[in-house]
Chain A
């Protein structure tokens, strides 16, 4: 057969974290494949996770979030169709139909298709939600709109939802001088990330910095004529200049559903460990796809940038005829809010119990340097262990610094099936300006061992 006939065609719907990683991995495995990325956005290849920090002013411009400039597409010979929407997938004929902003339609044949359609901001069915002025922060255009409002004199903001985006944007608003009220339906902030005891530490810090946090206040109504001027949450009326909806995101699965590509139990696109969907030669990656949790082995759609790129790398290699597997995900995540860092890996206590796992927990409050060393900051480590196997299955850390690499260490421990007994004897590093002699991770393990006696 002639080489020209054998050129593999890889089509990727989506050109951010997961899609770009998939394209790079596909190119590494197949130097001649025709790789095409389709995105509805104007700008491809930027970091969504950085959006709140442009609003906060730490990053000077939204342009700085671009991870993959046009030169990268040229160097890797990646075709790119921006402001183009994939409208249908014909999985039998192996065709994707797309339409660009001028209304021109095109059919793109594929040998391998990677769906990286991401997730959309979720808006619950709240009375008055059709009114104008309810903002969300999902892409650069959203960010530009919010920043413009902030710079044009908005004095106050209501943030609806106490997840990572809500809190990080709330911090950004306060740094820009706005008065921020945050409303959350549940009794705690960061409900998907931390247990209530750890979330409380973060909440207290945010309140000290001036954020007004109202928990157990579901949003009941948007008030205003055409434009929202206030909300009612938990029976209370709150007025503001700016309203940010941060209720969470939902996997964007319509294209897949219409094409008969099945969803899994997490309501994201069902995939196996090669990131293949149930349809041959169709892969799904990123916020629209699921992967098994390494501890429960149940499929989850964790919607983190770290997971998106891992999905993408595996799918890209497989789509280009190579072989790669993703064993699963833990959902390790960190954030910084003003002067406090919070992190998680594995299961929280709540999630573990919901999964029917009998747990023993331990939590140690310590310092980030020797107690006597000037500038030592508080840090609290919470460990969660499965009682029967004594394996570490989760950890949360809240502290003034040095949270991320401890979360990473505990993530490795979980992935290597480390027991709490092994962690209690683990070797750690110390010097007065850098750590305590007994790292709080090790002491938390010691506490659990005592409780297991």
Chain B
């Protein structure tokens, strides 16, 4: 884990331009939003997530997060089928602010085309550079 400006960027993840992270866990992929994203949104009050079984397409929205300040689409970092949804963030959306990389995960996906799609994502080193250029 490093901190870029004030934002945490863990080592073992891939990142998208749309403020999502993924963690490859064997055959599956866990997905969430970055520390940067939650800090931009501030206190998140509502997480609208699809049900298990929903098909995701890389770079397409699959849900929304609403905070006191703003509202933002959740954009899928990989294509695939949702196998698991974090119902805890639906009842306790503050988990997204408190712990975006661990307790605040959003969905677990069975990826459709992971190998090819990973090339569209940033690895840790690229993500650190990207975060440096985001502004506070």
Contacts and interface: CB of A to CB of B under 8 A. Distances in A.
Interface stretch (B22-30, B36-44, B86-94, B115-123): B36-44
Q: Is the interface of A mostly helix, strand, loop or mixed?
A: helix
A63 B37 contact: no
Given A63-B135, A64-B136, A66-B135, A72 B64 contact: no
Contacts of A311: none
Nearest to A23: B70
B135 A75 contact: no
A71 interface: yes
Contacts of A24: 69-70
A123 interface: no
A186 interface: no
B112 to A, nearest CB: 25
Interface string B61-99: 000101001111100000000000000000000000000
B136 A31 contact: no
A85 B118 CA distance: 41
Nearest to A75: B72
A70 B19 CA distance: 13
Contacts of A255: none
A128 B129 CA distance: 51
Interface string B109-136: 0000000000000000000000000111
B135 A71 contact: yes
Given A31-B64, A64-B136, A72 B36 contact: no
A56 B19 CA distance: 35
A75 B41 contact: yes
A171 to B, nearest CB: 26
Contacts of B41: 75
B66 A69 contact: no
B40 A75 contact: yes
A267 interface: no
A228 B118 CA distance: 62
A69 B136 contact: yes
Interface size class of B (residues with CB under 8 A): 10 to 19
A72 B66 CA distance: 13
A72 B70 contact: yes
A153 to B, nearest CB: 31
A63 B133 CA distance: 13
A9 B70 CA distance: 19
B40 A72 contact: yes
A387 interface: no
B19 A71 contact: yes
A70 B136 CA distance: 10
B46 to A, nearest CB: 11
A70 B134 contact: yes
Contacts of A27: 70-71
A63 B40 CA distance: 16
A77 interface: yes
A200 interface: no
Nearest to A77: B73
Interface string A59-102: 00001101001111011110000000000000000000000000
Contacts of A76: 70-72
Contacts of B71: 27-28, 31, 76
Contact of B134 (A28, A64, A71, A77): A71
Contacts of A77: 73
Contacts of B17: 74
B10 to A, nearest CB: 19
B69 A71 contact: no
B43 to A, nearest CB: 14
Contacts of B37: 75
A64 B134 CA distance: 13
A54 to B, nearest CB: 15
Given A31-B71, A64-B136, A70-B135, A75 B64 contact: no
B44 to A, nearest CB: 12
A66 B70 contact: no
B70 A75 contact: yes
A35 to B, nearest CB: 12
A71 B36 contact: yes
A71 B35 CA distance: 13
A31 B46 CA distance: 14
Contact of A28 (B18, B66, B73, B135): B66
B135 to A, nearest CB: 4
Contacts of A69: 40, 134-136
A451 to B, nearest CB: 43
Interface in A378-424: none
Contacts of B136: 64, 66, 69
Interface string A341-372: 00000000000000000000000000000000
A28 to B, nearest CB: 5
A388 B31 CA distance: 64
5 contacts: A24-B70, A27-B71, A28-B66, A70-B134, A75-B37
Q: Which 5 A-B pairs have the closest CB atoms?
A: A69-B135, A75-B72, A28-B71, A71-B134, A24-B70
Given A24-B70, A27-B70, A75-B70, 7 more contacts: A28-B66, A28-B71, A71-B134, A71-B135, A72-B70, A75-B37, A75-B73
Interface of B: 17-19, 36-37, 40-41, 64, 66, 69-73, 134-136
Interface of A: 24, 27-28, 31, 63-64, 66, 69-72, 74-77
